[in-house]
Structure 1
Amino acid sequence: MRRLVLLLALALVPGCRRESATDHMQRARDATFEKRPEEALVEYRKALDALRLDDSAQAMVMKARALKGAADVYWLELRKVKEAVSVYKELIAQCPESPEALEARVVLAELLRVYFRDLRGAIDQLTAALARNPPQGAELHYQVAKLYFELQDYQQCVLESRKLAERFATSAFVDDSLYLQAQALHMQALQTQSGMPEVQRFRQEASRTYADLIARFPDSELAPHSAFEMGKLKAEAGDNEKAIETWVQALKNHPEPALVQDAIARARRRITATTPEDIGSRQTAFERARPHRNSVEAVGGSAEEAARDHGD
Structure 2
Amino acid sequence: MRRLMLVLALALAPGCSRDSATDHMQRARDAIFEKRPDEALVEYRKALDALRTDETPQAQVLKARALKGAADVYWLELRKVKEAASVYKELIAQCPESPEALEGRVVLAELLRVHFRDLRGAIDQLTAALARNPPQGAELHYQVAKLYFELQDYQQCVLESRKLTERFATSAFVDDAIYLQAQALHMQALGAQPGSPEVQRYRQEASRTYADLIARFPDSELAPHAVFEMGKLKAEAGDNEKAIETWVQALKTHPEPAMVQDAITRARRRITATLPDGLDRKSAFDHNLKHRNSVEAVGGSADEAKRDYGD
Q: Distance in 1 between matches of 2:273 and 2:283?
A: 20
Residues 61-116 of structure 1 deviation map (CA, whole Å, 9 limit, x = unaligned): 00000000000000000000000000000000000000000000000000000000
2 CA distance for matches of 1:47 and 1:98?
A: 17
1:279 to partner: Cα distance: 3.7
1:185 aligns with 2:177: no
The one-letter code of the counterpart of 2:227 is A
Cα distance in 1, alignment partners of residues 135 and 227 from structure 2: 32
Alpha-carbon spacing, 1:281–1:33, altered in 2? closer, same or farther (3 Å): closer
Aligned length in residues: 269
The match for 1:237 is 237
| Stretches of structure 1 lacking an aligned partner (at least 5 in a row) | 6-16, 285-312
Structure 1 residue 278 displacement after superposition: 4.2
Question: Offset of 1:33 from its aligned partner?
Answer: 1.1
What is the CA-CA distance between 1:192 and the residue it aligns to?
Answer: 1.2
Q: What is the correspondence of 1:209-220 to structure 2 with a 5 Å cutoff?
A: 209-220=209-220
Amino acid at match of 1:100: E
Supply the distance in 1 between the matched residues of 2:79 and 2:30 (Cα, whole angstroms).
19
Hey, what's the Cα distance between the residues in 2 that align with 1:183 and 1:271? 26
Residue 273 of structure 1 corresponds to 273
Q: Give me the whole-angstrom Cα distance separating, in 2, the residues matched to 1:70 and 1:111.
A: 16
Shift of 1:193: 2.6
Tell me the residue number matched to 1:76.
76
Q: Which residue of 1 aligns with 2:128?
A: 128
> C-alpha offsets along residues 260-285 of structure 1, whole Å, 9 cap, x if unaligned?
0000010000001101254477989x
Listed one character per residue, the Cα deviations across residues 117-142 of structure 1 (whole Å, up to 9, x for unaligned) are 00000000000000000000000000
Greater Cα radius of gyration, structure 1 or 2: 1
Identity %: 87
Q: TM-score, normalised on structure 2?
A: 0.84
Amino acid at match of 1:164: L
Mapped partners of 1:219, 1:75: distance in 2: 38
Partners of 2:206 and 2:178 lie apart in 1 by 9
| Aligned amino acid, residue 40 of structure 2 | A
How far apart are residue 147 of structure 1 and its match? 0.3
How does the TM-score come out when normalised to structure 1?
A: 0.83
Moved over 2 A (4+): 193-196, 277-284
Amino acid at match of 1:147: L
Q: How far apart, CA to CA, are the structure 2 residues paired with 1:183 and 1:77?
A: 37
* Displacement of 1:18: 11
Q: In 2, distance between residues paired with 1:146 and 1:137?
A: 14
* Partner of residue 39, structure 1: 39
| Equivalent-residue separation in structure 1 for 2:43 and 2:159 (angstroms) | 46
Deviation at 1:196, TM superposition (A): 2.3
Q: Which runs of 5+ in 2 are unaligned?
A: 6-16, 285-311
Secondary structure of the residue aligned to 2:115 is helix
Residue in 1 aligned with 2:309?
none
Structure 1 residues 74, 260: closer, same or farther in 2, change over 3 A?
A: same
Q: CA contact under 8 A between 2:240 and 2:271: conserved in structure 1? A: yes
1:197 Cα deviation after fit = 1.1
Task: Measure, in 2, the Cα distance between the counterparts of 1:232 and 1:126.
Answer: 33
Q: 2: distance between equivalents of 1:225 and 1:88?
A: 38
Give the equivalent residue in structure 2 for 1:97.
Answer: 97
